[in-house]
Amino acid sequence: MTQVILSQANNLLPKDGYHQTFIKDIALFKSSQAVPRAPLLYDLCLILVLQGGKIGYLGEEVFNYNASEYLVVPTTIPFECETIASKEEPFMCMMITIDKKLMYEIIDRLGSDSAKQCKQSQLGLFSDKVTPEIETSIERILNALRSKQESQILGESLLKELYYRIATGEHAYFLHKMFLNTKIEAKIARSLRTIHENFGNHLDIPTLAREEDMSTSSFHTHFKKITSHTPLQYIKKIRLNKAKELLTRQNYQVNDTAYAIGYESSSQFSRDFKSFFGYPPKEAKPSFDVFPII
């Protein structure tokens, strides 16, 4: 990133933590400490690293995103991540919740053939190169974020420009397929959203498949290709990530959390939570290195 961008970011991020901006879909994050590999959940977002770096792990795939590579998560994906940072060079990033309506408009205008120009990939997230045009967009957004009025008036147009740059990136294949409603990618993305919105209820895999007019075997196969998890593994990870949010941000007790996310046994929940995060639920602490789960 340019020195202008780093200067703007430092002015907007005087201290560590998660900072909501005047543009509702944009937050800024800063950490002066490295964070070891741990489970995280991203939902329909764009991560633009301004300084430092992250390494993400999804199944056998490894994603490096830093000042030269951004990360796009076009659907809800639980994965693992570590943060590269120090007091001398803090990690700083811009976290953008992707506006589905705005992105659909852009991809629709690009046309159905636009995906053919991208490198094909079945995974539900991807990283791509930060181009000079994207740096220019970032600089304009950071400049606008200094003013509430400027953010409110120019915010949507600035995001639209940035989304266009992302949608025309080399690896944006899944992003295009997700917004073409009849495609397999879009069907799985809708199922992921259904799981995300109903994690506390009983979720039946054959029913999820039937709702998208897919056989159970086909649903299972494509689901794992896109998320690197089986449907049951995915549901479990969504529930446990939600549990962490309830414990750390909404002050739920362990028993209440277990039942809220669909567990019938509090002791089983505690065992699964410890196995997943590496510590028992009563020791859960806030982590602002992720979007609040909606």
Q: What is the pLDDT of residues 235-294, one digit of tens each?
A: 999 999 889 989 888 889 999 999 999 998 999 999 999 999 899 998 887 655 544 433
Tell me which of 121, 146, 178 is where a domain ends. Answer: 178
Residue 290 lies in a domain: no
Q: What is the pLDDT of residues 166-177, one digit of tens each?
A: 999 988 887 887
pLDDT at 245: 86
160 and 273, same domain (yes or no): no
64 and 97, same domain (yes or no): yes
137 and 204, same domain (yes or no): no
At 197, which amino acid appears?
Answer: E
Q: Is the pLDDT of residue 62 over 90?
A: no
pLDDT at 182: 60
At 30, which amino acid appears?
Answer: K
SS3 98: coil
Q: What is the pLDDT of residues 193-220, one digit of tens each?
A: 899 889 889 899 999 999 999 999 999 9
SS3 196: helix
Residue 291 lies in a domain: no
pLDDT at 117: 66
Mean local confidence (pLDDT), 171-192: 79
Residue 288 lies in a domain: no
191 and 144, same domain (yes or no): no
202 and 148, same domain (yes or no): no
Give the CATH number for residue 194: 1.10.10.60
In 3-state terms, the chain is what percent helix, strand and coil (to 5)?
Answer: 50, 20, 30
Lowest model confidence (mean pLDDT) among 54-63, 114-123, 154-163, 196-205: 114-123
DSSP 104-168: HHHHHHH-GGGGGGSPP--SS-EEEE--HHHHHHHHHHHHHTT-HHHHHHHHHHHHHHHHHHHHT
174 and 242, same domain (yes or no): no
132 and 254, same domain (yes or no): no
For the chain, the first-to-last Cα distance in angstroms comes to: 30
pLDDT at 181: 61
231 and 108, same domain (yes or no): no
Note down the domain range covering 216. Answer: 184-283
pLDDT at 166: 94
Residue 127 lies in a domain: yes
Tell me which of 178, 201, 227 is where a domain ends. Answer: 178
Residue 27 lies in a domain: yes
131 and 246, same domain (yes or no): no
Residue 292 lies in a domain: no
203 and 144, same domain (yes or no): no
155 and 247, same domain (yes or no): no
pLDDT at 38: 85
227 and 213, same domain (yes or no): yes
Give the CATH number for residue 50: 2.60.120.810
Mean local confidence (pLDDT), 62-78: 88
Q: How many domains does the chain have?
A: 2
Mean local confidence (pLDDT), 11-28: 93
Residue 39 lies in a domain: yes
Tell me which of 130, 156, 178 is where a domain ends. Answer: 178
